[in-house]
Amino acid sequence: MKNNQNILPVFNKIIDFKTASDKNIFFLVPEEAAVIKASFLFQGKYLYQTTSFKDNSSFTEILPVPDENNGLKSNSILIDFHQQRSIESIRIVLKKEEAIDPDKLVCIIRIWGGNQWILPQPKNVLFFKGKGSPLQYSINEGFSLLKTDKIFCSFVKIINPDETDANKDVNIGDSPADDLMELLNFDTLKGIEEQQSLDVASLEIQTKDAIASLTIGEPGKPPLFIKQGELRSEDNKPEEILDFQTNIAKALLNTKSFPVDQLDIPEEFKSYLNPDVSYHPIALSIKTASSGTLFINSIDIGHIFIKEIFSSEPGQTANQISEVNFNYDPMTTRVDEKTIYVQVQEGSTIKKLSFEIKGSINKNRLVPLAKLDPQPDIYPDNISISALANQSLFSSFTVVEGFFAINSIGIRIKPVSDTLSLKALILYDLNGRPDYKGKELASSLKKYESLDGEKYQWLKFELDNQLIPENNTTYWLKIEVKEGEMAWQAEKTSAADQLFVFRQKKEILMPCGPHLDSSLTLIARFFYTPENYREHLSVKIDTQTNYIPLESVDSIDTTLKLDLDTGCQENYFKINLCSESEGKLELSNLKLYYEDSNNPVYIFLNNEDISNNTLTIPDELSRIPLHAISGIGKKYANRLNEAGINNIRDLVLLENHNLPELSSSSGITKNRLIDMVSKALTINLVYSGNLPQLVLSSGRKFHELLEMPTSYLSDLLKISQESAKDFRNSAIILDAATDRSMEIKKR
């Protein structure tokens, strides 16, 4: 895929405006997609251009017109940029056979001031110097700040008013004169001009321009971004289009979608699009009143697809589930999880889930069996201990860990009579037996009628007062049969040769068990009311548990919104609803938002000459390991290796890769991949010659160089202060991009 055709996001793009112009960016958004986020970050950078005789065109006009050999003979040269430019240096080379007296012949430059020619301050007289054998005369002069849209170079001999030759020390630079007549009005120490025609072999004018009066927006609509004056980011802090997401979302709603063959884009680009998908073309116009470079830090549009059809089985296409009932499972002694399935494309990334919940669930929660002793081993249906009227059964329990204010008890029984009257009590332990003559810690009396005697069922007792058992202290649950007959279901435990169950007949306690070499315990469950309901209701997605905030469980009316970033490895997505107690809920407005890696958003930079189309990637980057980048450890390096990415060079080449697809296959989030590639591109900029080679023999550590004043750094590296400032800013970024321990930072 060509570099001006990209799958979003894109970052570290350089768009050069060689002249004031209007350029377009097109976003191709798949039909039925919704925009959830969008960002556009950019900076202004200087554009360095060289104007020479061969560049004579309608954009930069040179008079007289150079000949076919790109030379000319004249006493003056006019360069018209047709827009304001910043002159950094001028180089004029005469033909070798041109012999001059460099002490007397000079070049005077004038710039256009809007309605007249003026002499720029403080430098306007340029002197020729000879070099080589045979001698070749040239001018090579730099300027600190010279802004103009036209520049006029005159080749003259400076003479005194008395027509004697003036020496090279003459200075007419402080004279605001713009023609010969004005010069003649100055005192006798000032020089006047006598034009000389010269054979010029070459002309080079180096300009350094920053974007000015930048506007970005949809064509024909109010701009999204306006910057008066020059766009320069001296502190490397990018500009950002505010409310970019809102405006892109509006544009998406107001733009028709078209099949691929009807899109107004080059045919070569259409071959990369999905022919079965229609796209919304959204255009952004970038206008600037000058030359310059727009450095795009990043453009990203986070789009999603929305599913609203759910089912209780994978593969079904039923409408939304409206009711969910939570009941205790007698086998697991837990409330059933309810699973919802959503059909999505395999390989998609789930980004968001939302639904409304109404209903109620019980306040009480089950004390986890793992917190109790004895622990049940298996769950047989054919083991029970019976009790007649005026008999009692005892089962011991110990809370080994946790704080629970027990307020109700459930037992699992099979009634033998139609009517049962039972009393539940909690007693202390006395030397391994229930202290049935001692204090009653809590109790409850209930009468049951019309019971089904064919199966086991749960009976629940609300205690008259709460019991807060001490950890690792044995207590006894007593069920006294006042009327009728029952069989209390038992479980085997892994604790052999211990007594956990007794039957009482009159004043006699009789042990029950072991059974087949296993001790028995009677099935009982203990309930408590938590201090809050934070973990009462939850949604499980993969290994992640998300708790639904509840102020009350009696009357639930809330909306759940989850931000996710998880891959879907099947053609459906599974959502588990979990409750810590029984209840009934109604669900509505369920929406699943997901990214389909097979349908990305594309960006098309129309007819754009992007600087990194000819991106240079030095071979030595292939020798730099992935962990040179800050944030890439062994785990991420291994995942990247499995995807065929083994070094910094490979990361740079990922610039136009489908990052959502790579994220899905590697398990690395898209934002983290963006960060990795961006840091790799930063390192590549350094190795491509944008920073000077550090003098390692200086004895300075890298981070010390970054803390030096610009002037000191300029002297140390023997570069200009402006270059030192650019170096320091870029090096700070490089320092943040790489691991401090890596030698790469010393380059």
In tens, the pLDDT along 163-200 reads: 666 555 444 444 434 444 444 444 434 456 677 889 99
Question: Range with the lowest mean pLDDT among 461-470, 508-517, 533-542?
Answer: 508-517
Largest CA distance in the chain: 146
* 3-state SS class at 619: helix
What is d(CA 728, CA 435) in angstroms, rounded to the nearest whole number? 82
In tens, the pLDDT along 16-38 reads: 888 888 888 889 999 888 888 89
pLDDT on residue 727: 66
What is d(CA 522, CA 518) in angstroms, rounded to the nearest whole number? 13
Greater model confidence, 119 or 478: 478
What is d(CA 413, CA 390) in angstroms, rounded to the nearest whole number? 17
What confidence category does residue 240 fall into, taking pLDDT thresholds of 50, 70 and 90?
Answer: very high
Following DSSP, what letter does each residue of 349-375 receive, concatenated? EEEEEEEEEEEEE-S-EEPPGGGEESP
pLDDT on residue 215: 93
**Residue 223 pLDDT > 80:** yes
In tens, the pLDDT along 633-673 reads: 888 889 899 888 888 888 877 755 667 678 878 888 877 88
Average pLDDT over residues 104-132: 86
Residues 6 or more apart whose CB falls under 8 angstroms from that of 358 comprise 556, 557, 585, 586, 588
Mean predicted lDDT score pLDDT of the chain: 81
Model confidence pTM above 0.75: no
Residues 6 or more apart whose CB falls under 8 angstroms from that of 353 comprise 539, 541, 560, 561, 562, 564, 575, 591, 592, 593
pLDDT on residue 531: 81
What is d(CA 702, CA 728) in angstroms, rounded to the nearest whole number? 11
Q: Which two tokens stand for residue 652?
A: 């740079």
